[in-house]
A and B are shown apart, each in its own frame.
Chain A
Amino acid sequence: MARHIDLEKSKFHLLAVCIAADLADVKEQGEAISLEAMNAKVLFARAGNMALGFRPITDFMVQLADNTIRLVREIEREALAVSHQAVERLRTLNAVRMARKAIELGDAHKARFRGDLEPFLRCTVNHDEETVKELLGHARMLTKLLDEIAEQMIAASAISSSARIEAAAIDTRYSQSFQSVSEKLEQCSVAVLGKVKSNLNLLNHALDLQRN
């Protein structure tokens, strides 16, 4: 069982890299939301009084786009930090393993300066614990950011429903364009939410293994 956990731990860095790569898609969706927000602003400017009900929706989309881009940047940074720390963990785990092996080897107990091995083991264990602490710190921050962006996307999904209702009430000249903006917002939020949820699950699973 312990061997199984070690194996999973050693794969954590791969998982962290995969999460970082997978979340790159969220950035594209964030940029798409930003584009749709600009589109909505232009449409609103053209429609004027005929689309007054769309104004708060447009404002929300601009704010959502800004927040999403900001969050994505922070997520990228934290995902990279998690990935780096996970690789460092591989190194520290290896050092602990080597130190233990040196102590347990054949006639090591007879070595004149055997006492020098124990401080080395303690040092590697301490370093490993520090690495885990930093790794978990970055992972917690990443989890928080992913939760935050998930909340934003749930709100975006709700707003896109309201937007569709508003769009139906607008003059037919603009209705279709506003409908299209609403649908794209919905599509983006669903895509981001799906991506974020699956990566959150992966991250939480990996963190459980690290804690064990």
Chain B
Amino acid sequence: MKATTIYEKGDHKWVIFGRDPDRKHNIIDTNQHMMMSGGDAILMDPGGIELFAPMLAAVVHHVPIERIKQLFASHQDPDIISSLGLWDQVLDNTKLYAPWLWEGFIRHFGCEQIEYVGIPDEGMEVTVGNRRLQLVPAHYLHASGNYSVYDPAAKILMSGDIGAALLDDGASMFVEDFDQHTRYMKKFHQRWMPSNKAKLIWIERVRTLDVEMMSPQHGAIFRGDDVIRFLDWFEALDVGSAVNS
């Protein structure tokens, strides 16, 4: 499992785990995010059950297990959080922040020790070490209860499936050529994102944030002006329209 540090300032750090070379080829590649502050850590969209062992092995390079105090699940999909039952056996005194809407569903993955904190529809803030993270509503993008994570100090937006791209193995962790990159994103967004209205609400909300990096759960990270380019591109894209195309 490849670990890429995308932000580091003092004890405040963002690491992305992904591009696992040992991943089975019929399993979609995913980016797992970890933010650390004050020695504590939050794992965001920690991944599927198949990735648990390499994820655990990668995480202990950066943080002691007992300092993982929080987990976050943007929505209920198996590639996001089906490893929960295994994390449940590793972690003590840990909270899972996940959509209130999906609690009864996500608990099917196993959640006995970990405390489930349902995120309300309007979102909420979470403190990790010395930093505050904003859990930003992203409903219907693509799940009916869905959130992005914004770190105002690092100016990073973890956007979940928004901005996702289906790339070849070994692709760069960062978007190098935005126009080229859109062809890896277009069908994904047209098929997985069901609502233009929900899309515009999220774009309007994100435009008010100061974002220097937007990091999706699949594909590559947008930096600098590519973030604005993505928002413009997404705004113009007709979603919920790719059935049978």
Q: Are the C-beta atoms of B86 and A95 separated by less than 8 Å? A: yes
Given contacts A95-B89, A123-B89, A124-B89, contact A105 B60 (CB under 8 A): no
Within 8 Å by CB of B86, from A98, A108, A110, A111, lies A98
Query: Mostly helix, strand, loop or mixed at chain A's interface?
Result: helix
Say if the beta carbon of B85 comes within 8 Å of chain A. yes
Say if the beta carbon of B57 comes within 8 Å of chain A. yes
Within 8 Å by CB of B85, from A91, A102, A127, lies A91
Say if the beta carbon of A114 comes within 8 Å of chain B. yes
Return the CB mask of A58-83 against B: 1 if under 8 Å, else 0.
00000000000000000000000000
Residues of chain B at interface, number, CB under 8 A: 17
Interface residue ranges of B59-91 to A (CB < 8 Å): 60-66, 85-86, 89-90
Q: Are the C-beta atoms of A114 and B60 separated by less than 8 Å? A: yes
Given contacts A91-B110, A112-B61, A112-B62, contact A117 B89 (CB under 8 A): no
Q: Are the C-beta atoms of A117 and B60 separated by less than 8 Å? A: yes
Contacts of B54 in A (CB 8 A): 102, 105
Say if the beta carbon of B188 comes within 8 Å of chain A. no
Contacts of A112 in B (CB 8 A): 60-62
Interface residue ranges of B6-60 to A (CB < 8 Å): 52-54, 56-57, 60
In the assembled complex, the Cα of A17 lies from the Cα of B89 at a distance in Å of 26
Chain B residues engaging chain A, CB cutoff 8 angstroms:
52-54, 56-57, 60-66, 85-86, 89-90, 110
29 contacts between A and B (CB under 8 A): A91-B85, A98-B56, A99-B53, A99-B56, A101-B53, A101-B57, A102-B52, A102-B57, A102-B60, A103-B57, A106-B57, A108-B60, A111-B60, A112-B60, A112-B62, A113-B60, A113-B62, A113-B64, A113-B65, A114-B60, A116-B66, A117-B57, A117-B60, A117-B65, A120-B89, A120-B90, A123-B89, A124-B89, A127-B89
Not counting A98-B52, A116-B65, a sample of 5 additional A-B residue pairs whose C-beta atoms are within 8 angstroms of each other reads A94-B86, A102-B60, A105-B54, A111-B57, A113-B62
Q: 3 closest Cβ contacts across the A-B interface? A: A101-B53, A116-B65, A113-B60
Chain A residues engaging chain B, CB cutoff 8 angstroms:
91, 94-95, 98-99, 101-103, 105-106, 108, 110-114, 116-117, 120, 123-124, 127
